[in-house]
Structure 1
Amino acid sequence: MKDYLVRGLVNKRNARVFAVNTTNLTNKAREELGLWPCASAALGRTMAVTLMMGAMNKDQEKLTVNINGGGEMGTVLATTHCDGKIKGFVANPEVHYEYNSTKKLAVGMCVGNNGTLQVIRDMGLKQPMTSEVQLQTGEIGDDFAYYFYVSEQVPSVVSVGVLVDTDNSVLSAGGFIIQLLPEATDEDITFIENKMKGFPPVSDLIHQGKTPEEILEMIFGDEVEILAHQDVFYECDCSREKMAEALAALPDTELEAIINEDHGADLKCQFCHKSYHFSEDDLKQIQENKHQ
């Protein structure tokens, strides 16, 4: 099944809904970044929500989610231009714990909950808009539900999951978001709460072959109206030109030191691990262009 996202409305329940399958793109991130299972789960969950948040916004708005809970995994970051393409990284991908009682991935333990979830929206204005909340569990889904409630005042159900095989490959990944509209009644809230009691993990449903539409239909039946589909991909947009721009942005003294002491530079993209080499002559040309 290909990766894609759907956006819809449930008018009878005064809710808008989103659901996404991100299995292939999460597996691609795992392969390119060398993620261990907990890192695959943390980044996969974060990317699923980031893509669904992107579907809430205007096209080409850059949306970045930065999570750091003080755990061994360090920063978990995902960024998209709300066009279905996403990239991300984990500061320390080689961390792995399981909960003894369930043998499930201990994502919250690896991420930690002594930190923040930060959302940065860049709409091409002078300054991007940044909002931030304290992490609650580090399990990602609960933390985003808290973010929507506190930062955007939108009561939301956020369910995300990643199922990892014994060979560390990703068997399934994705999620769904249910957001109540201002017209929602107590009856609507009770209906959704009851539906969520004992609802299967979304990663299990995707592994069973359920599509994003079918998952939403399990909750709302034929009440859900799908408004849009969007294919989603893991794609890094790094380039030699962008790396040269990063070198040009360095302070003059730092760039001069790299030229005189290192006689060259090797830069690696944190999103895809592709390497770029700049010779001493390349750096001198960057320095010259910088002051033209």
Structure 2
Amino acid sequence: MNDYLVRIITENGAVRALACITTSLVNEACQRQGCWPTAGVALGRGLSAGALMGALLKTDQRIALSFEGNGPLKKILVEADANGALRGYVRVPAVHMEKPDGTFDVAAALGHAGLLTVTKDLRLKEPYKGIVPLATSEIGEDLALYLTESEQTPSAIGLGVFVEPDNSVSAAGGFLIQALPPGDDAIIDKLMHRLEALPSLTAMLKEGTTPEQLIERLFEGIPYTTLEKRELAFVCACSRPRIEKVLISLGKDELEDMLEKQGHTEVTCEFCQVRYAFDRDDLKRLLTEITG
């Protein structure tokens, strides 16, 4: 099944919700990164959160979510656009930590001191950037808290990732529910009770629950309209020309030093792990471009 997202709004406009399946793109990202189980769960939650947040954007807009802590994972960075394209990486993918009950300890792996940074490229002069301290170091909880307190949009987020013994991801996805002004206390109360009674989202995804079925379960008896269904995919924006621009930006002195001491260089994309090799002739050509 392809990855996709569904977005709905209640008929009275008081609540909007999104639910997604991200299994394939999360598995691809984790395999490219070489993630150990806990790192894979953390990255998978981040990518699912990115898919949900990206779906709230307008065409040509982009969002980046950065979770940076003092734990062994160091940092999780996810980028998404309004068209369902996502990419992400974890700074240290070789991390696996469990709680006493055997579940993945993402909060400890990320660290309990750090920052959540939300950067939105809304095609204005400067990107919008919101920075808040990590409150729980649980990806969904911290993002929901940010949306509720910093963007004044009461939100609930659920994220789930199932990692197999061979480190492959066999289920991933999530949901986002937001109260919109002027609000409807009766609907909110009903949804809160249903969220509290909801089984493990990871288990539901593993059993094959679809985004539509998840929304139907949460909004049973609450009239709503489906606004869209969009495909999601792992898409990396890197390319050789882009990497060349990065090397040129290092400046003449840096490239000359690289040419003299090494005679070549190799650049690896942090997101997709594709390697770009530049030999002596390539470096000379880039220097010529700088000097004209």
One fold, TM greater than 0.5? yes
Question: Contact between 1:161 and 1:203, CA under 8 Å: does it hold in 2?
Answer: yes
CA drift of 1:13 comes to 7.5
Give 1:17's aligned residue: 17
CA drift of 1:127 comes to 2.1
Gaps of at least 5 residues in structure 1 are: none
TM-score (norm 2): 0.96
Question: Partners of 2:194 and 2:154 in 1: how far apart?
Answer: 15
Give 2:186's aligned residue: 187
Question: Contact between 1:112 and 1:137, CA under 8 Å: does it hold in 2?
Answer: no
Question: Contact between 2:9 and 2:17, CA under 8 Å: does it hold in 1?
Answer: yes
Change (3 A) 1:217 1:130: same
CA drift of 1:186 comes to 2.8
Sequence identity percentage: 35
Gaps of at least 5 residues in structure 2 are: none
What secondary structure is seen at the aligned counterpart in 2 of 1:138? Answer: coil
Change (3 A) 1:121 1:217: same
Q: Deviations over 1:62-85 (max 9, x none)?
A: 211111021110110011222111
Give 2:103's aligned residue: 104
Question: Contact between 1:247 and 1:255, CA under 8 Å: does it hold in 2?
Answer: yes
Give 1:212's aligned residue: 211
TM-score (norm 1): 0.96
* Alignment coverage as a number of residue pairs: 291
Give 1:200's aligned residue: 199
> Quick one: which amino acid aligns to residue 285 of structure 1?
R
Give 1:225's aligned residue: 225
> Quick one: which amino acid aligns to residue 125 of structure 1?
L
Flag as ranges the 4+ runs of structure 1 deviating above 4 A: none
CA drift of 1:23 comes to 0.7
> Quick one: which amino acid aligns to residue 213 of structure 1?
E
Q: CA RMSD in A?
A: 1.4
CA drift of 1:206 comes to 1.5
Give 2:80's aligned residue: 80
Question: Partners of 1:220 and 1:263 in 2: how far apart?
Answer: 62
Question: Contact between 2:60 and 2:123, CA under 8 Å: does it hold in 1?
Answer: no
Question: Partners of 1:113 and 1:18 in 2: how far apart?
Answer: 28
Question: Contact between 2:160 and 2:205, CA under 8 Å: does it hold in 1?
Answer: no
Give 1:93's aligned residue: 93
Question: Contact between 1:13 and 1:188, CA under 8 Å: does it hold in 2?
Answer: no
Question: Partners of 2:12 and 2:126 in 1: how far apart?
Answer: 39
What secondary structure is seen at the aligned counterpart in 1 of 2:217? Answer: helix
